[in-house]
């Protein structure tokens, strides 16, 4: 085989995600080469081994994917890989630890479209609370929501101090103003629901974070989105297939967005990122910003017919 399409997966954890391997082959990469337990310090050397081992044609048919489980570390690795390029020996790099970037991109794009469907407006000035917000999906979703003009709150069952610490770390890195709050008690959750416009469930699979009884008191709620596909639902009353379905038991008939509906958009975004890598003559560095641009197209088409 002459000049095959090769994808090198640099993964800082023990196991490379089967999802990422499957998606790469779905996108018709000829070879997918996984690397486990990769450290940040090793990225420079691995990247240069990747770019210098192929000729001018072959290097354009080579890509790097960065996995793992930490959003911040993946962003650091992407930047290290980018800094290691030596033109014209450059390859595209795509970061998506635990699918968090493409999931968060799909999530916020769907919320944005649903908000427009419900109110005619965008996310500017909207209060958005992310339950389980200190995980990689929650952090990335909060950053994207803030960039859309929302006031994003990372809510944690471990308390406000933990949530605030995580929010401040990423505020400094990404020039946003996320807040941290506690969701460790029924009273705290009910207080959040009295004032928020949008809620997100991004806690661990199979963990319920908001009940139907609590939602029934959510006077201002316009959108509820849940990324948990494992029973029980993270947000009770939101079905995994919901895509903008009214939750009739809430005061304003908030629109529900379920995990599999979000996952459908996420899958398309993930696939498109690999397509972009393969189709570009110039190196691309694909992060949460580029993933969100793509997710917006798919979400608007699905929810708004745009």
pLDDT in tens, 124-138: 999 999 999 999 999
Burial (CB count within 10 angstroms: exposed 0-12, middle 13-18, buried 19+), residue 185? exposed
Q: Strand pairing of 255-257 and 243-246?
A: antiparallel
CATH number of 6-99+264-304: 3.40.50.10280
- Same fold across 6-99+264-304 and 107-262: yes
Output the six-digit token pair for 245: 């379905």
pLDDT at 1: 53
Q: What is the mean pLDDT of residues 41-54?
A: 95
Is 111 within 8 Å of 223 (Cβ atoms)? yes
Q: Which DSSP helix (H) or strand (E) runs through 210?
A: none
Query: Per-domain residue ranges for the chain?
Result: 6-99+264-304, 107-262
Coil vs helix vs strand at 285: strand
pLDDT at 89: 93
pTM of the model: 0.96
Residue 118 pLDDT level (bands cut at 50, 70, 90):
very high
Q: What is the DSSP letter of 208?
A: -
Query: Contacts by 155-160 with C-beta closer than 8 Å and gap 24+?
Result: 155/129, 155/130, 155/131, 155/180, 155/181, 155/182, 155/183, 155/192, 156/132, 156/180, 156/181, 156/182, 156/183, 156/184, 157/132, 157/182, 157/183, 157/184, 157/203, 157/209, 158/134, 158/184, 159/184
- Of residues 279 and 110, the one with the higher pLDDT is 110
* CATH class, 107-262 region: alpha beta
pLDDT at 287: 97
- Per-residue model confidence as pLDDT tens digits over 144-171: 999 999 999 999 999 999 999 999 999 9
Burial (CB count within 10 angstroms: exposed 0-12, middle 13-18, buried 19+), residue 284? middle
């Amino acid at each position: 085989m002459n000049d095959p399409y090769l994808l090198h997966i640099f993964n800082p954890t023990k196991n490379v995600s089967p999802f990422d391997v499957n998606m790469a082959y779905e996108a018709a990469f000829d070879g997918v080469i996984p690397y486990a337990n990769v450290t940040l310090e090793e990225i420079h050397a691995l990247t240069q081994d990747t770019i210098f081992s192929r000729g001018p044609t072959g290097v354009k048919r080579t890509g790097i994917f960065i996995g793992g489980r930490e959003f911040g570390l993946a962003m650091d690795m992407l930047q290290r890989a980018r800094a290691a390029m030596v033109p014209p020996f450059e390859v595209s790099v795509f970061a998506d630890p635990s699918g968090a970037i493409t999931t968060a991109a799909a999530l916020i794009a769907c919320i944005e479209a649903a908000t427009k469907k419900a109110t005619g407006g965008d996310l500017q000035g909207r209060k958005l609370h992310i339950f389980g917000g200190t995980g990689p999906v929650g952090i990335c979703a909060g950053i994207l929501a803030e960039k859309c003009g929302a006031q994003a709150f990372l809510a944690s069952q471990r308390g406000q101090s933990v949530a605030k610490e995580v929010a401040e770390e990423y505020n400094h890195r990404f020039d946003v103003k996320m807040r941290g709050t506690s969701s460790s008690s029924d009273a705290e959750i009910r207080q959040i629901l009295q004032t928020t416009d949008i809620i997100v469930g991004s806690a661990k699979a199979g963990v319920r974070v908001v009940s139907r009884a609590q939602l029934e008191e959510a006077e201002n709620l316009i959108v509820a989105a849940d990324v948990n596909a494992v029973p029980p639902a993270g947000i009770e009353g939101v079905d995994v297939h919901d895509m903008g379905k009214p939750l009739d038991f809430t005061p304003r008939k908030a629109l529900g967005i379920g995990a599999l509906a979000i996952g459908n958009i996420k899958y398309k975004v993930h696939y498109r990122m690999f397509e972009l890598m393969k189709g570009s003559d110039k190196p691309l560095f694909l992060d949460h910003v580029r993933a969100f641009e793509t997710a917006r197209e798919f979400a608007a088409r699905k929810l708004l017919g745009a």
